[in-house]
Amino acid sequence: MNAHVEETAFLSFICPGCHQEIEAPVDMASQETECPTCAALIHVPDESEPGTLWALPATQVNGPSQAQKDAMKSRTIRIELPDNW
Ligand SMILES: [Zn+2]
């Protein structure tokens, strides 16, 4: 039995304090957490912000290329669920 969770979905958004792009598990939607970069209290949105890693390419027919996705990933900091979640 493999306990690995493959279905984790993420939200991505921009920290209003330091403009760092952040990705957080959808389980943290609507929660408040601390920015990993500037430690500001941030509110995790219900949906990814447009232009961030996990935003749906609603207005783009082809979506971002793999190179664009890689670039977006490399600029995004992932936060994890707290241990006491
Ligand atoms: Zn920040």
Quick one: pLDDT band at residue 17, thresholds 50, 70, 90? Answer: very high
Residue 28: phi, psi to the nearest 5?
A: -95, 5
Task: Identify which has the larger pLDDT, 7 or 25.
Answer: 25
35 alpha carbon to ligand 1 midpoint, in Å? Answer: 5
Both tokens assigned to 61: 């027919």
Please give the Cα distance from 51 to 78 (Å, whole number): 16
User: Number of structural domains, the chain?
Assistant: 1
Mean residue pLDDT across the chain: 87
| Domain region containing 64 | 10-78
Could you tell me if 81 and 26 are in contact, meaning their C-beta atoms sit under 8 angstroms apart?
no
Residue 58 has pLDDT above 60, yes or no: no
Residue at 47 is within a domain:
yes
Pick from 8-12, 16-20, 34-38: least confident: 8-12
Closest C-alpha to 9, from 47, 58, 42, 61: 47
48 alpha carbon to ligand 1 midpoint, in Å? Answer: 16
Residue at 84 is within a domain:
no
Residue at 1 is within a domain:
no
β-pairing, 76-78 with 41-43? unpaired
The residue type found at 31 is: Q
53 alpha carbon to ligand 1 midpoint, in Å? Answer: 16
Could you tell me if 54 and 47 are in contact, meaning their C-beta atoms sit under 8 angstroms apart?
no
